[in-house]
Amino acid sequence: MAQSRRPIFFNNKTSSIQIDTDLSNVQRFHRQLPNYAHTPLISLDDVAKNLGVKNVFVKDESNRLGLPAFKILGASWGSCRAIIARTGIPTDSPLEEIAQSAQREGIVLFTASAGNHGRALAAMARTLGVQAHIYVPHTVNDEAIRLISAEGGKVTRSTKDYDGAIFEAWDAASRSKGGLFVQDSAFKGYDDIPKWIVEGYSTLLFETEEQLGEQNLRANLIVTPVGVGSLAHAVVRHSACLYQSLMAGKPTSVTTRKTSMEGMNCGTLSSTAFQDLQQGIDFSATISDYESHQAIQYLSKYSVNTGPCGGAALAALWRLADNRVRPEWLREDSVVVILNTEGLREYEIPLDVSSDDPVELTQILTKINSSNPDLSEAAGAGETAIASYIDAWLEHRGMESNWIEAQPGRPSVVGVLRGSGSGKSLMINGHIDTVSLSTHTSGDPLSGELRDGRIHGRGCLDMKAGVAAGMAAMARMANSSSRQSGDVILAAVSDEENLSRGTEAVLAAGWKADAALVTEPTAKDIVTSHKGFVWFEIDVLGAAAHGSLPEEGVDAILLAGYLQTALLDYARTMPSDPRLGQASLHSGRIVGGEEPSSYPAICTLTIEFRTVSTQSPKSLTADLNELLKSIANKIPQFRYNSPRITFSRPPSELADENTFVQTFIASVSKTLNDAPAPAGKSFWCDAGLLNEAGIPSIVYGPKGEGLHAKNEWVDTQSIYDVTNVLETTIREFCQ
């Protein structure tokens, strides 16, 4: 089966672009810079042979004027043209005169950058003898900040994304005496300097043209990475948000996430670039971090040391060559140039987002530490990394992805595969947090190792396999020639292992469905009901006194024994459910007293009730009040505070006659040739919240062992079975 993938955008609005600027002065300016030289144009013979074209070259910008990126070309010309405009000196002034003018005016350069542009501007500021202030988005790593600082730049880390950092730098420049904002992204009221930066990049293209001309060649296709679009603008004038803008037919901002391609992690195109890009770009493709990583490894064989942004161009060329219809630019006589825009730098090796296989996805998800930070003394990683992976996986396929982060650092992701009509919608709900890694003591808890038909590691069973099955089922439907009518919604939620704030946030954000499947591990049992729970705190009151003064002291701890005895008797009378058995209670915590020689003034019991559908927090509160009142009537010294509910979750129950239950049983039977009868389980899961919100929910997932224990594993055949059942259910229910 072909992999689902966001399609390449082929542009049918290309036309010629009018150039009204003499760029020869840009080249003359760059030749003044210390150690100016052409960067290499390297032939990738194996790539050309594999693609069936005449030549593929890489223009290697990994060492440009002593910096590991092309950015110095734009930063130098853009900043100097801005200084010329500010000071009024002639446009063709030599570099030395520009520097002197900048120093006399007390100019301070400001910009926002994810790395290389800021580093280049800091280096240019040092050449000019002025200061540079660089604002970086919150996703930028410490190494990038160190490198900018090493060039003399003063770095401010923003709490915002790239777009937010731009406006912080813009505001800081406007408030600073001598402040001059030099940004490669244009916006309303700011467009001259970005145009000059684009002009600066033209030197790279003129060099390429000269180098090809020496071999009597001319480029048919140039492949370039795109961030805000400035380099691409230079390319089309010479010959992530871009894709969405081209699709929309107008400049469109997008929300960005963490990526190894930080230089391209821009949510808004430069406002001056879009019209020319719309006319000059022939195709636009989105590339995953992993594909860029593969390209980096390949280019190293040619001694091209590139980073993730530079690897993106080769990855895009491979993507274009793999397209179902071979584009006209890849003929036998074609000459292709890809732009390597940066040198090798540190980055976290990305995970592959291309897999649609549920077992492989389970292994990948298991390797990501998503331990809940609120569960134990061991530091939990939280859900950001795994949510980022799922978000990227959805984006890779062109599926809708929604990031929900009601609590900072605890995100959930809602992915949507839109239906073709008005059929019923189905939510596949699964939590992405796990319990602590410290309790998994058998081997590496993040190994995701597959052996003997089992995947091992913390969270593989509870419940990354269920999430993976949901992802794989969505991918199958996306690849299918017959799309379902209704929407399929993947709710990959945080915090289920603690307070279920993820599913709460998803529901609060307005996400609903006609039915839901919660893919918790049920060993393929069809679970239509489970218990709820309510936590109470009850204070038994005494009187503090010295241990030698029994006439003054009242022992709250001993008096609490009456309550404990009464609770044991009450527990025997609690109601039962045909599938879930009898409701239960236990005292999970008791706190009281200060030291042995004093009478304790208070003793607090924490009691958990595991409830069935006939019970509610209100009914339990009434029962406890009656029980406490009865004790106080019998024991004059027994005093108490009214019971407090600290947390509760509802039970979940669907009748066997429910339409979704019947549809799901039929889907299981159709897929696996048999279906078990609906069952109940004593655990609690997010199905309780979904059912309470009016979304009929069934719990169904793979089998394995070791939940929260020292050796957790999940059976791989059951993962495939669950995926197959999900696919059948989507087809049957979402008609």
The pLDDT value recorded for residue 377 is: 77
For the domain covering 358-521+658-674+685-734, report its CATH number.
3.40.630.10
- Give the other-Cβ count within 10 Å of 443's Cβ: 12
Nearest-CA neighbor of 526 among 490, 579, 481? 579
The pLDDT value recorded for residue 321 is: 92
d(CA 161, CA 140): 9
Nearest-CA neighbor of 574 among 620, 532, 535, 531? 620
* CA-based torsion, 370, 373, 378, 384: positive or negative: positive
d(CA 540, CA 536): 13
pLDDT in tens, 569-607: 999 999 999 999 999 999 999 999 999 999 999 999 999
d(CA 603, CA 640): 9
The pLDDT value recorded for residue 246 is: 45
Alpha helix segments (H runs only) across 600-649? 617-634
Q: If you ran DSSP here, which 8-state letter would residue 434 be given?
A: B
The pLDDT value recorded for residue 266 is: 45
User: How much of the chain is in helix, strand and coil states, percent to nearest 5?
Assistant: 40, 20, 40
Q: How many CA atoms lie within 13 A of 237 on its CB side?
A: 27
Nearest-CA neighbor of 75 among 22, 35, 134, 16? 134
Q: If you ran DSSP here, which 8-state letter would residue 462 be given?
A: I
d(CA 592, CA 605): 9
Contacts of 295 (CB under 8 A, 6+ apart): 306, 311, 312, 313, 314, 315, 318
Beta bridge partners of 491: 414, 429
Contacts of 530 (CB under 8 A, 6+ apart): 580, 651, 652, 680, 681, 682, 683, 684, 685, 687, 688, 699
Whether 358-521+658-674+685-734 shares its CATH topology with 532-650 is answered: no
Backbone angles phi, psi at 112, to 5 degrees: -115, 145
pLDDT in tens, 267-294: 454 555 556 657 767 888 888 999 999 9
Which residues of the chain are modeled with pLDDT < 50? 1, 240-243, 246, 263-267, 269
Beta bridge partners of 699: 518, 527
Three-state secondary structure string covering 345-362: CCCCCCCCCCCCCHHHHH
The pLDDT value recorded for residue 457 is: 97
For the domain covering 9-66+196-340, report its CATH number.
3.40.50.1100
Q: Where are the domains of the chain?
A: 9-66+196-340, 70-191, 358-521+658-674+685-734, 532-650
**Strands 131-136 and 154-157, sheet pairing:** parallel
Rg for the chain, CA atoms, rounded: 32
Burial 53-74 (b: 16+ CB within 10 A, else e): bebbbbbbbbebbebbbbbbbb
- Give the other-Cβ count within 10 Å of 326's Cβ: 13
Structure pTM? Answer: 0.81
Helix axes 716-733, 465-479, angle to 10 degrees: 50
Write the single-letter amino acid at 561.
Answer: G
Give Cα separations from 490 to 435, 467, 471, 506, 526 (angstroms). Answer: 22, 8, 7, 11, 19
Helix axes 116-128, 71-87, angle to 10 degrees: 50
Cβ 279 vs Cβ 239: under 8 Å? no
Domain 70-191 architecture: 3-Layer(aba) Sandwich (3.40)
d(CA 465, CA 516): 17
Instruction: Name the CATH topology of 532-650.
Output: Alpha-Beta Plaits (3.30.70)
Contacts of 705 (CB under 8 A, 6+ apart): 461, 711, 712, 713
Cβ 507 vs Cβ 689: under 8 Å? yes
